[in-house]
Chains A and B, each alone.
Chain A
């Protein structure tokens, strides 16, 4: 059983809760392989996607997950809503709840917004990415994919490569995978690795070649183009040269290492197409697993008594 009505971050979950979400997702993945990819479990419930930041894959993944559980889905798109007329965040959320929402999936550019809304709403709030804080469902689907491919997570050497500082995916992954017993290597320029993540069980490398040696899993991060020219890295060309994943660099990792990317990819910058489309890549499986993991989370949250 989950303890909270909301899924706000990996930090807020216990190891038992993480394991329950992953185990339950396996049952939901079975459904995705069928002709009829829908179950009646949450019939009559309503899901609202409340996205204050652009997103295609996460929003669509939640929409598919919600529909496969038989909930009705409303996509509340911000540019056409009252938000542009100056409505406050909490008013918007209360309005959405008054429309009958049972699940509110929220993405916002500011860290902590899901936590704020969760205190004001009785609907289940699911964090789909808040500022530079967390993106818990991405980390859970990554953990599910690693477990499926490697059979376990404990003891694995997992490298996370790129802009760790601004990446909520990286942070959720660090919390989730260390809780599950993996050893994490953060690889990137010193300007993009935050001090507070340098803890026990985590190694930091400022050289890609050193960091990749013997790794089991490589999680490439999207280079956040919007931060280009802000002094974190000189140019995309230089970034690609130092931190881009090429076949030569991949050959330093273990022979059966898998390559992951949360998407959207900048081909030719953080990852070359030859790898992205190659046999070691599990990038598209991550997308499919994302639906199963999000179904698992919504199902489990629906069972939380309040």
Chain B
């Protein structure tokens, strides 16, 4: 999960969705089983759309996207009985809000141990929100090589796009208000697998992407 964007918190006047009242209130959007099923379906969709997995790789955006990419890769391996290359991408240095963020993003590893030139890349992220992270990720990928194509897989699409970006594979569409936070919790980070919707406290910055 990326450390979110604090400034959206302040522009939350228009909210079309019912809001969660009170502090520390959260609602479960996806259970462990929902998450598992969504990933299984996405794995099948990726294989179907690309007519197999030849020339295909998965690259997860640090951090939540990395775990999801690894899980999708495991599912694809089970279905196709072939390995699919998996990498991780850190977008901190490509963000468009470095100079205005209250908290500097942590720089994590970018590990793409294969040539991306002429590969089809499925970029994997946990939450699609404004689309700005994906813009940064595409810039970062172009500095690594020249892929044949980039597709996008996200577990949650919460709307509110600020750039012309659309996901090719979506686990679940969830309409949200700007003041809410979508948090994808995964066992790789010591949680139980689930997706929750939280009302943002001003200090809280998790989950928005």
* Residues of A that sit less than 8 Å from B by CB: 1, 24, 26-28, 30-31, 34-36, 38-41, 296, 299-300, 302-303, 305
B93 touches A41 (CB 8 A): yes
CA distance A91 to B104 in the complex (A): 32
B143 touches A39 (CB 8 A): yes
Q: List 13 A-B contacts (CB under 8 A).
A: A1-B103, A27-B90, A27-B92, A27-B107, A27-B110, A30-B109, A31-B110, A40-B139, A41-B92, A296-B107, A299-B107, A300-B104, A303-B103
By a CB distance below 8 angstroms, the chain B residues around A296 are 107
Closest to A1 in B: B104
Of the candidates B102, B103, B110, B145, the one whose C-beta lies within 8 Å of that of A30 is: B110
B143 touches A28 (CB 8 A): no
Of the candidates A27, A31, A40, the one whose C-beta lies within 8 Å of that of B108 is: A27
Known interface pairs A39-B93, A39-B94, A40-B93. Does A28 touch B144 (Cβ–Cβ under 8 Å)? no
Q: A41-B94, A299-B104 are in contact. List 15 more A-B contacts (CB 8 A).
A: A1-B103, A26-B109, A27-B90, A30-B109, A30-B110, A31-B93, A31-B110, A39-B93, A40-B94, A40-B139, A41-B92, A41-B98, A296-B107, A302-B98, A302-B104
By a CB distance below 8 angstroms, the chain B residues around A38 are 143
Q: Mark B69-94, 1 if CB is under 8 A from A, else 0.
A: 00000000000000000000010111
Q: Mark B42-74, 1 if CB is under 8 A from A, else 0.
A: 000000000000000000000000000000000
Of the candidates B98, B102, B109, the one whose C-beta lies within 8 Å of that of A27 is: B109
Nearest Cβ on chain B to A116's Cβ, whole angstroms: 27
By a CB distance below 8 angstroms, the chain A residues around B143 are 34, 36, 38-39
Nearest Cβ on chain A to B116's Cβ, whole angstroms: 11
**Interface of B: prevailing SS:** loop
Return the 8 tightest CB-CB contacts between A and B, nearest first.
A303-B104, A27-B107, A41-B93, A39-B93, A36-B143, A24-B107, A30-B110, A27-B109
* Residues of B that sit less than 8 Å from A by CB: 90, 92-94, 98, 102-104, 106-111, 139, 143-145
By a CB distance below 8 angstroms, the chain A residues around B109 are 26-27, 30
A30 touches B111 (CB 8 A): yes
Known interface pairs A39-B93, A39-B94, A40-B94. Does A34 touch B144 (Cβ–Cβ under 8 Å)? yes
CA distance A305 to B94 in the complex (A): 20
Nearest Cβ on chain B to A25's Cβ, whole angstroms: 9
By a CB distance below 8 angstroms, the chain A residues around B110 are 27, 30-31
Closest to A303 in B: B104
By a CB distance below 8 angstroms, the chain A residues around B103 are 1, 303
Closest to B140 in A: A39
CA distance A52 to B108 in the complex (A): 35
CA distance A41 to B104 in the complex (A): 11
By a CB distance below 8 angstroms, the chain B residues around A39 are 93-94, 143
CA distance A27 to B98 in the complex (A): 17
CA distance A41 to B98 in the complex (A): 7
By a CB distance below 8 angstroms, the chain B residues around A31 are 93, 110
By a CB distance below 8 angstroms, the chain A residues around B94 are 39-41
CA distance A1 to B145 in the complex (A): 32
Nearest Cβ on chain A to B147's Cβ, whole angstroms: 14
Of the candidates A28, A34, A35, A40, the one whose C-beta lies within 8 Å of that of B107 is: A28
Closest to A40 in B: B94
Nearest Cβ on chain A to B55's Cβ, whole angstroms: 20
Closest to B94 in A: A40
By a CB distance below 8 angstroms, the chain B residues around A40 are 93-94, 139
CA distance A150 to B76 in the complex (A): 36
A28, A30, A305: most-surrounded residue (chain B CB, <10 A): A30
By a CB distance below 8 angstroms, the chain B residues around A36 are 143-144
By a CB distance below 8 angstroms, the chain A residues around B92 are 27, 41
Nearest Cβ on chain B to A180's Cβ, whole angstroms: 20
Nearest Cβ on chain A to B117's Cβ, whole angstroms: 10
Nearest Cβ on chain B to A16's Cβ, whole angstroms: 13
CA distance A35 to B144 in the complex (A): 7
Closest to A299 in B: B107
By a CB distance below 8 angstroms, the chain A residues around B144 are 34, 36
Closest to A36 in B: B143
By a CB distance below 8 angstroms, the chain B residues around A303 are 103-104
